[in-house]
Amino acid sequence: MGLLRAWLGVMTTPREFFQNAVAPGDQAPGLVFLTGIVAIEESVRYALVPGAAPVLSDRPVATAVLAVLVTVVLIAPTGLHLLAAIQTILLWPITEDRAGISETVQVLAYATAPCVVAGIPWPPLQVAATGYGSLLLVAGLSTVHGINQLKGMLAGAIPAALLYGVAFGGFDAVGAIV
C-alpha cells in the first residue's frame, strides 16, 4: 500500500482502514509510514520555525538534513517501539483477547497521519492535528484489539500524551493558544 493511499485511508475511513490494513506480524508498512510522516513534519518544522533546526559548523542545511535522518532512522523507530511496549502493558488489564504487539506498533504508526502538518507553526493546526491523531489512536486500538472506545481511551491516554502531546508538540500548541 502506498504512503498516500494509506494516509488517505486512515484519515477518511479510520475504522475500515485499521480493520483491513493492520496485519499480524507485518510492522514494516507501518514503520515506513511513520518515518514518512516524521520526515515531512520535521523538515517542514526546520524550514518554517526560526531556530528549530540545529546548526553545526556554520552548515545549517547539512545539519538539518542530518538531524532529520537521525530522527527518521533512529529516534522515530525507537520511540515507536517503546510506545508500543507501554501500550501493550496498558492493554493487559483491559483485555485478555487482544491483538499482538505487531498490530499495536502498526496502530501507533498509522495514527500519526494527521501529524504530517504538525511542523507548521500555527498552534490551532497543531492542536487539530495532534487531537485527531489521538482520536485515530483510540479508533485503532478499539478496532484492532476488539475493545470499546472507552477502554481504548483509557489504554491509549498515556501513549497519546507522550506521542501527540510531547513528541508532536500538542501540549506546547495548546499552551500557545491559552
Which position has the grid cell 485499521?
Answer: 18
Give the pLDDT confidence of 64-114 residue by residue, as tens digits. Answer: 999 999 999 999 999 999 999 999 999 999 887 788 899 999 999 999 999
Please, are residues 114 and 136 in contact by the beta-carbon 8 Å criterion? yes
Give Cα 169 distance to the centre of its chain.
Answer: 11
- For the chain, give the longest Cα–Cα distance: 55
The yes-or-no verdict on residue 1 having pLDDT over 70 is: no
pLDDT value of residue 100: 87
Give the pLDDT confidence of 123-151 residue by residue, as tens digits. Answer: 999 999 999 999 999 999 999 999 999 99
Query: Structure pTM?
Result: 0.95
Give the pLDDT confidence of 50-59 residue by residue, as tens digits. Answer: 999 989 898 9
- The CA–CA distances, whole Å, from 158 to 86, 88, 137 equal 8, 12, 11
The yes-or-no verdict on residue 23 having pLDDT over 70 is: yes
Q: Which among 33, 23, 130 has a CA at the least distance from the CA of 76?
A: 33
Residue 97 three-state SS: coil
- The CA–CA distances, whole Å, from 36 to 8, 61, 71, 116, 174 equal 14, 19, 11, 8, 25
The Cα 64–Cα 54 span in angstroms is 6
Q: What pLDDT band is residue 19 in, cutting at 50, 70 and 90? A: very high
- Domain positions in the chain are 3-177
